[in-house]
């Protein structure tokens, strides 16, 4: 028969349980040892539980003191148990993860992903720039009437500019035996249609395919791409032309490329403008790429010719307009250093997958 | 147009470098494509010498010891050239001179050498070593008057500007034209040649008459007559200038007409006066059946829309294009009839094109030169023939000018200039700029300037033309950069372009790579698409002047180029190939413009996942193509149906039309094996084709959202045995017809030994859900039983045990 303990003895016993429990918990490094510890110190038959059960034998004063100390010890032991349990589980996860190894240099499994054509990407990029400047994207027929391709643009029959744009004519004749249709030689005919069909203010760009009777070589193909634009309002100036096209060049080519505007001739504008950007290779010093000029021609532009406005039913005394047109295909050629235009139309996946 | 700077300096003072002048001209509209420098690197090291003595080399038979007098000193060098003559003026290069290698043409610096034991410091040069020509067999021999001791740079050094003249500025196809530009751009004056000569003997009017029968094609015809001319080579300075401009010297008369053409931009023609019959020049259209042997000896058949210069009996020249052999100036010629005329540009282009003759004269006439040029050029050439051909000029000249037009002055206001360019130029600046270009100007108000274009310009018609003159001479760089200030016009984007872009993006994200091919195809390519028909339906639109047979028609389908591209890529690619094109097909519309239908077509074939490790490989099939089409339509927010179809280019049983709102918007299918064989493809290829013009009207982009379900679903699987002919769609629609069925998904189909012949097993995954409560198992079991009974009653399906 065990002797009945005094309150002070019980308090001493609790201190002893606590110090033993801390030491033993430190030694429990796996879930089995941890469970044994739990049974020993927090189980029904644990020494602590015995202390709690024997409180009745104490005086009221001692009962309060010892009871509080025993419950406090129980909370304490439960807390350190939980912390230990969490630490052991984490250690196990880490240990398990450390056992898993793979070869990270093996190739990834990809969902099949295709590529948009570099010319289509370029057109998209240019259209986004002009869209943000308030230009509408428009389209027009590729099989065009001679009128819109030439006459409406101040290029009457016999004009020397027709020589520079050798045409593919459609094998359909009208009543007079003339062939009235051709594959458009430039996208400016879409601008002519926009001028004739919309009411000012107008801002529009049209990207698309154009056709010229030229044999394929590294720099020419019978089909290529242009993007043409036109803006009409009462107060549009040549300074607006320069500003708008400079902004395009800044966004497309980057901040630090110099832009040069010089006089040039196109029948549908007056004054005529050519915009060139500083050569990326020589930075204006002159090299083979830019033909020693230091600049690379990007687009033709100008103030829309009064005759063109008149033909579209717009009064040049009221409206002023600028227009521009650029070859699209050259832009990715310059950007990626592509030296043969034919690659774009060759459908070779080994080429197209690079973009 | 090649312009010698040395020649140019005779007409205008130039104190800028060749590069600076080139830049000014380029910025103002006359682009200098290249500058060729004659004598680059010669400096003081290459000089003119005279051969004093030629002695044999002691150790070599072929070599000589040559002593050259260089004015201040003499040098003796070893030389192996065959043309060493005492007294000749030659070119001597000192050690250190920059020359070209006489064999490779590469740049070299001349070094002292010991040739067969004899020291040789310096060299007598060939033209190739000087970079003048490819002649490397003989040394260059200079004229007798070449000043000994002068540097070769001072003697023949020059810069040649190669100019690209725009079609509106035919006046700049001349040295004086360029001199006028340079003068205006640099604030200098032009010095035109002083022209005067003595006229002797009888009057030209007694010797010849001119009649213009086609004044619409010949606005002006001027002529002079020179007798007792001596035909001989032209002087060296003239020959050099012609050579520098890319022309070949012939004799003094031909050279003078070319020289004055280069100088003034007015083409001239010379006739042997004694060969002109009937003392008459008639400018008329050619008669039908008429022909002429041109100067190049080729007989030219003429048509009635061509303009000829004729005498009383026959054509003696194709006007403005080429002279005739029957009136050609030869060594025996003594009297020259000199022509300076103006012809209609379009007519010259037409005739030159038909006869396929490219000449300097045609090049200028077809750009439309000013009729005002004839007399100045005629008088200049007459003067030179009198001087250099020792001729006697008949009194007077003929000048028939039916096309004379008054030059109307144009008013330009400084206000309009500002409003148009966005930068202000004062009235004085405008007036001075135009005056520097030769315009006759006067101020007519505080803002307005009245300007009359000089006689050589025929491209000035409008106030805007004058504004360009001001802007280009002042410099475009003076115009500031501004952005459009007015409100953005409100316009809707083109829905077709948006749709095209969306579909392209969806296809690219589904593994398809975009190709871009020519719109022109050969008929054989289109024929390959419908092997049983032998014809192409609809008949494609033909190009009247195709470049080649394989680009003779406008494509009516994107399929041909895609299948060719598939076959081509298969040569390099294993595994999957997925490509598409978005472009127009062109469908005939009678006499009207063809219908241009925006089409997107994709083809696919090969292994589903190509070249990946650890994958179970399988080949693509019909359902991969269908899945792609489904994704495209779903992403566009469209409900679609696939209905078995009858496209002769596709496999008879493996194709389906895509129907949206009872409209056919496209087709999918396996390409017909015969078509594949025609394109030399040895594997199944699947195709998706969408007609965007049809699709665009069906898209609203406003599909209402479905709420996320609040109550849980219950899923059941069911497997049935059913006749093979009964389609999945009928089973699916039967099940779908029951209430609470949220989704029906097939997860297995089996045909084989495990099921009776003529039957198949289909397994479905059915998801049930109620919108207002949580379903119970009993509810679901009940519906499932009803479904099975209905499948059995309607389709004869039985539950698979």
Tell me the CA distances in angstroms from B167 to B30, B217, B439, one per residue in order. Answer: 11, 20, 21
Domain with B467, as residue range(s), is: 410-477
* pLDDT recorded at residue B575: 86
Whether B488 is covered by a domain: the verdict is: no
User: What's the structural domain count of chain B?
Assistant: 6
In CATH terms, the superfamily for domain A118-352 is: Bira Bifunctional Protein; Domain 2 (3.30.930.10)
Confidence band for A10, pLDDT divided at 50, 70 and 90: confident
- Count Cα atoms within 13 angstroms, Cβ side, for B461: 8
Same domain, B597 and B735: no
Same domain, B123 and B233: no
CATH code (residue B777): 3.30.70.380
Minimum-distance CB partner of B481 among A138, A213, A242: A242
Mutation target among A143, A195, A294 for the B interface, most CBs of B within 10 A: A143
Q: Is B610 a residue whose pLDDT tops 60?
A: no
* pLDDT recorded at residue B116: 86
Whether B489 is covered by a domain: the verdict is: no
pTM for the full model?
0.86
Residue of chain A nearest B515, judged by CA positions: A347
Same domain, B432 and B302: no
- Over residues B741-757, the pLDDT tens digits come to 999 999 999 998 889 99
Whether B704 is covered by a domain: the verdict is: no
Same domain, B367 and B455: no
Same domain, B439 and B553: no
Mutation target among A127, A270, A307 for the B interface, most CBs of B within 10 A: A270
Minimum-distance CB partner of B543 among A168, A236, A348: A168
Residue B575: left (phi > 0), alpha (psi -120 to 50), or beta?
left
Q: Is B490 a residue whose pLDDT tops 90?
A: no
Q: Is A164 a residue whose pLDDT tops 70?
A: no
Q: How far is A26 from chain B (nearest CA, A)?
A: 46
Q: Is B320 a residue whose pLDDT tops 50?
A: yes
Whether B776 is covered by a domain: the verdict is: yes
Q: Where are the domains of chain A?
A: 7-99, 118-352
CA dist A354 and A340 (Å) reads 15
Q: Looking at the complex, does the CB of residue A183 fall below 8 Å from at least one CB of chain B?
A: yes
Q: Looking at the complex, does the CB of residue A254 fall below 8 Å from at least one CB of chain B?
A: no
Q: Is A252 a residue whose pLDDT tops 90?
A: yes
CA B378 to chain centroid, in Å, comes to: 37
Same domain, B210 and B315: yes
% chain B with pLDDT above 70: 99
CB B104 within 8 A of CB B49: no
Q: Looking at the complex, does the CB of residue A82 fall below 8 Å from at least one CB of chain B?
A: no
* pLDDT recorded at residue B607: 86
* pLDDT recorded at residue A1: 42
- Over residues B422-431, the pLDDT tens digits come to 999 999 999 9
Whether B783 is covered by a domain: the verdict is: yes
- Over residues B625-680, the pLDDT tens digits come to 999 999 999 999 899 999 999 999 999 999 999 999 999 999 999 999 999 999 99
Same domain, B178 and B35: yes
- Over residues B13-54, the pLDDT tens digits come to 999 999 999 999 999 999 999 998 888 888 889 999 999 999
**Torsion angle in degrees (nearest 10) through CA of A154, A156, A158, A162:** 60
Q: Looking at the complex, does the CB of residue A333 fall below 8 Å from at least one CB of chain B?
A: no
Q: Is A240's CB within 8 Å of B422's CB?
A: yes
Mutation target among A106, A111, A112 for the B interface, most CBs of B within 10 A: A112
Highest mean pLDDT among A54-68, B195-209, B466-480: B466-480
**Average pLDDT, integer, range A101-115:** 87
Instruction: Tally Cβ neighbours within 10 Å of residue B210.
Output: 19
CB B516 within 8 A of CB A277: no
CATH code (residue B10): 3.30.56.10
Q: Two tokens at A212? A: 């010229």
CA dist B123 and B94 (Å) reads 7
Same domain, B163 and B152: no
Residue of chain A nearest B579, judged by CA positions: A114
Mean pLDDT of chain B: 93
Whether B204 is covered by a domain: the verdict is: yes
CA dist B382 and B378 (Å) reads 6
Tell me the CA distances in angstroms from A315 to A195, A241, A269, A311, B76, one per residue in order. Answer: 11, 20, 15, 9, 80
Confidence band for A223, pLDDT divided at 50, 70 and 90: very high
Q: Two tokens at B644? A: 């078995």
Partner residues linked to A167 by β-bridges: none
Q: Is A2 a residue whose pLDDT tops 70?
A: no
* pLDDT recorded at residue A62: 86
Q: Looking at the complex, does the CB of residue B556 fall below 8 Å from at least one CB of chain A?
A: no
């Amino acid at each position: 028969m065990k002797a009945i303990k005094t309150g002070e003895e019980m308090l001493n016993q609790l201190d002893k349980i606590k110090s033993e429990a801390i030491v033993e918990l430190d030694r429990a490094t796996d879930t089995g040892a941890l469970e044994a510890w739990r049974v020993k110190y927090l189980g029904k038959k644990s020494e602590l539980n015995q202390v709690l059960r024997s409180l009745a034998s104490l005086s009221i004063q001692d009962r309060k003191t010892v009871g509080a100390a025993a419950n406090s010890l129980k909370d304490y032991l439960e807390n350190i148990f939980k912390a230990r349990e969490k630490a052991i589980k984490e250690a196990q996860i880490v240990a398990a993860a450390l056992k898993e190894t793979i070869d990270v240099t093996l190739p990834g499994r990809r969902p099949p992903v295709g590529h948009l054509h570099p010319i289509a990407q370029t057109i998209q990029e240019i259209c986004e720039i002009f869209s943000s400047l308030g230009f509408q994207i428009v389209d027009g027929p590729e099989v065009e009437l001679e009128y819109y391709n030439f006459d409406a643009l101040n290029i009457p029959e016999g004009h020397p500019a027709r020589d520079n744009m050798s045409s593919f004519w459609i094998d359909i004749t009208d009543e007079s035996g003339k062939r009235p249709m051709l594959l458009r030689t430039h996208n400016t005919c879409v601008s002519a249609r926009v001028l004739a069909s919309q009411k000012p203010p107008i801002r529009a760009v049209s990207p698309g395919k154009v056709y010229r009777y030229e044999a394929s070589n590294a720099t020419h193909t019978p089909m290529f791409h242009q993007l043409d634009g036109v803006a009409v309002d009462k107060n549009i100036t040549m300074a607006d032309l320069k500003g708008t096209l400079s902004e395009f060049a800044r966004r497309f080519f980057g901040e630090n490329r110099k832009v040069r505007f010089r006089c040039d001739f196109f029948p549908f504008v007056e004054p005529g403008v050519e915009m060139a950007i500083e050569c990326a290779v020589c930075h204006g010093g002159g090299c083979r790429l830019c033909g020693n000029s230091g600049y690379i021609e990007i687009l033709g532009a100008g103030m829309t010719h009064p005759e063109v406005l008149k033909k579209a039913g717009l009064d040049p005394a009221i409206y002023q307009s600028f227009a521009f047109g650029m070859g699209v295909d050259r832009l990715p050629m310059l950007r990626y250093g592509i030296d043969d235009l034919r690659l774009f139309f060759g459908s070779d996946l080994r080429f197209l997958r690079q973009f | 147009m090649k312009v010698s700077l040395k020649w140019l300096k005779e007409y205008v003072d130039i104190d800028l470098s060749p590069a600076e002048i080139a830049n000014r001209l380029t910025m103002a509209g006359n682009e200098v494509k290249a500058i060729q420098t004659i004598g680059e690197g010669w400096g003081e090291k290459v000089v003119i010498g005279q051969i004093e003595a030629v002695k044999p080399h002691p150790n070599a038979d072929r070599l000589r010891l040559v002593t050259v007098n260089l004015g201040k000193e003499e040098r003796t060098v070893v030389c192996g050239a065959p043309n060493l003559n005492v007294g000749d003026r030659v070119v001597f290069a000192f050690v250190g001179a920059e020359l070209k290698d006489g064999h490779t043409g590469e740049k070299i610096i001349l070094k002292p050498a010991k040739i067969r034991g004899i020291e040789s410091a310096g060299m007598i040069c060939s033209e190739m070593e000087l970079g003048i020509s490819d002649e490397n067999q003989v040394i260059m021999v200079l004229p007798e008057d070449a000043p000994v001791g002068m540097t070769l740079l001072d003697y023949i050094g020059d810069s040649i500007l190669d100019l690209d003249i725009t079609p509106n500025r035919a006046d700049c196809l001349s040295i004086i034209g360029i001199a006028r530009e340079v003068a205006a751009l640099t604030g200098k004056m032009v010095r035109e040649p002083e022209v005067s000569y003595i006229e002797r003997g009888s009057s030209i009017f007694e010797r010849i008459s001119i009649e213009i029968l086609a004044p619409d094609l010949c606005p002006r015809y001027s002529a002079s007559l020179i007798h007792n001319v001596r035909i001989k080579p032209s002087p060296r300075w003239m020959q050099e200038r012609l050579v520098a401009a890319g022309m070949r010297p012939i004799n003094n008369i031909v050279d003078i007409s070319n020289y004055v053409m280069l100088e003034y931009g007015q083409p001239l023609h010379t006739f042997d006066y004694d060969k002109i019959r009937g003392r008459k020049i008639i400018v008329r259209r050619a008669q039908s059946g008429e022909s002429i042997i041109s100067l190049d000896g080729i007989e030219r058949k003429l048509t009635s829309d061509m303009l000829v210069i004729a005498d009383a009996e026959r054509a003696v020249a194709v006007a403005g294009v080429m002279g005739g052999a029957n009136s050609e100036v030869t060594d025996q010629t003594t009297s020259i009839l000199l022509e300076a005329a103006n012809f209609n540009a379009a007519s010259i282009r037409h005739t030159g094109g038909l006869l396929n003759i490219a000449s300097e004269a045609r090049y200028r006439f077809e750009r439309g030169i000013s009729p005002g040029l004839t007399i100045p050029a005629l008088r200049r050439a007459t003067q030179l023939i009198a001087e250099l051909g020792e001729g006697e000029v008949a009194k007077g000249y003929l000048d028939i000018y039916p096309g004379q037009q008054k030059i109307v002055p144009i008013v330009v206001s400084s206000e309009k200039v500002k409003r148009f360019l966005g930068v202000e130029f004062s009235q004085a600046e405008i007036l001075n700029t135009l005056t520097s270009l030769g315009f006759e100007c006067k101020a007519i108000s505080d803002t307005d300037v009245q300007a009359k274009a000089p006689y050589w310009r025929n491209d000035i018609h409008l106030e805007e033309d004058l504004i360009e003159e001001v802007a280009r001479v002042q410099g475009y760089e003076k115009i500031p950069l501004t952005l459009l200030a007015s409100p953005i016009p409100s316009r809707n984007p083109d829905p077709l372009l948006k749709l095209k872009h969306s579909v392209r993006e969806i296809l690219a994200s589904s593994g398809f790579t975009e190709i871009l091919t020519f719109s022109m195809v050969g008929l054989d390519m289109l024929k390959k698409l419908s092997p049983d028909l032998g014809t192409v339906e609809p008949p494609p639109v033909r190009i009247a002047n195709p470049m080649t047979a394989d680009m003779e028609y406008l494509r009516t389908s994107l399929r041909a180029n895609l299948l060719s591209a598939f076959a081509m890529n298969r040569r390099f690619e294993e595994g999957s190939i997925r490509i598409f094109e978005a472009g127009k097909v062109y469908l005939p519309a009678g006499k009207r413009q063809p219908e241009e239908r925006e089409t997107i077509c994709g083809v696919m074939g090969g292994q589903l996942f190509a070249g990946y490790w650890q994958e179970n490989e399988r080949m693509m099939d019909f359902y991969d193509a269908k899945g792609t089409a489904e994704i495209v339509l779903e992403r566009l927010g469209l409900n679609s149906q696939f209905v078995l179809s009858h496209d002769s280019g596709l496999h008879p049983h493996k194709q389906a039309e895509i129907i949206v709102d009872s409209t056919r918007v496209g087709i999918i299918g396996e390409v017909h094996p015969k078509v594949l064989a025609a394109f030399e493809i040895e594997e199944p290829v699947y195709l998706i084709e969408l007609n965007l013009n049809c699709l665009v009207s069906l898209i609203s982009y406003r599909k209402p959202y479905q709420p996320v379900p609040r109550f849980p679903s219950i899923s059941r699987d069911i497997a049935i045995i059913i006749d093979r002919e009964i389609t999945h769609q009928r089973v699916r629609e039967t099940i779908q017809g029951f209430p609470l069925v949220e989704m029906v998904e097939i997860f297995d189909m089996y045909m084989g030994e495990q099921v009776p012949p003529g039957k198949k097993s289909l397994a479905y995954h059915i998801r049930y859900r109620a919108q207002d409560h949580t379903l119970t198992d009993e509810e679901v079991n009940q519906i499932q039983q009803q479904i099975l009974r209905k499948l059995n009653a309607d389709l004869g399906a039985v539950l698979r045990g």
